[in-house]
């Protein structure tokens, strides 16, 4: 796994350091560890930098493209956000589509940063700031742990759980 909380903290702090004051968040569901940790990082950064956590600026999606579109529209219509942190690739794709359809300029009208780093983030103008997870390493590490468990059988059960935290890359481009 990656340190979702720290990565989200750093993403939010980037927006703060760029001068944004009304930072919205399209969070994932809080019945999942990923959603909880990314939201915690977002709120931690706000608090550390003297911001009040405004629940009106936090909207919960379901990690799907459609929820990203819908939640971005809700944020734009119900608040005066000047930037947004989106907690995963699919929701960010939907949020980005909505921003473009409304002809809102990034980063002039709204700063934008996302968790995950899909190829499209480098193909659009401006290029999107992103948190890049080591996807291949995540998968291979999980497979290695599974194979170890299978090979060691009963002996493995008596061992303490293994928790591997991988580093993310923070990709600063042009969207904030």
Give the tens place of pLDDT for each residue, 63-94. 999 999 999 999 999 889 999 999 999 999 99
Residues β-bridged to residue 83: 23, 111
Residue 128 CA from chain centroid, whole number = 12
Report d(CA 89, CA 130) in Å as an integer: 9
pLDDT at site 141: 84
Report d(CA 11, CA 93) in Å as an integer: 17
Give the predicted TM-score (pTM) of the model. Answer: 0.89
Mean pLDDT in residue range 158-175: 85
pLDDT at site 101: 96
The CATH architecture assigned to 4-133 reads 3-Layer(aba) Sandwich (3.40)
Report d(CA 106, CA 45) in Å as an integer: 22
């Amino acid at each position: 796994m990656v340190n979702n909380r720290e990565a989200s903290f750093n993403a939010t702090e980037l927006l703060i350091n760029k001068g944004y004051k009304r930072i919205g968040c399209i969070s994932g569901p809080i019945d999942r560890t990923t959603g909880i940790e990314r939201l915690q990082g977002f709120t931690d950064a706000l608090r550390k930098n003297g911001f009040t956590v405004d629940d009106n600026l936090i909207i919960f999606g379901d990690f799907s493209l459609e929820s990203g579109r819908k939640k971005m529209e809700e944020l734009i219509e119900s608040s005066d956000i000047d930037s947004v942190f989106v907690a995963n690739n699919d929701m960010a794709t939907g949020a980005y589509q909505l921003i473009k359809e409304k002809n809102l300029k990034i980063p002039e009208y709204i700063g934008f940063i996302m968790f995950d780093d899909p190829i499209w983030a480098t193909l659009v103008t401006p290029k999107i700031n992103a948190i890049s997870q080591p996807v291949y390493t995540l998968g291979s590490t999980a497979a290695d742990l599974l194979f170890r468990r299978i090979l060691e059988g009963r002996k493995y059960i008596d061992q303490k759980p293994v928790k591997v935290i991988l580093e993310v890359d923070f990709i600063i481009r042009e969207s904030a």
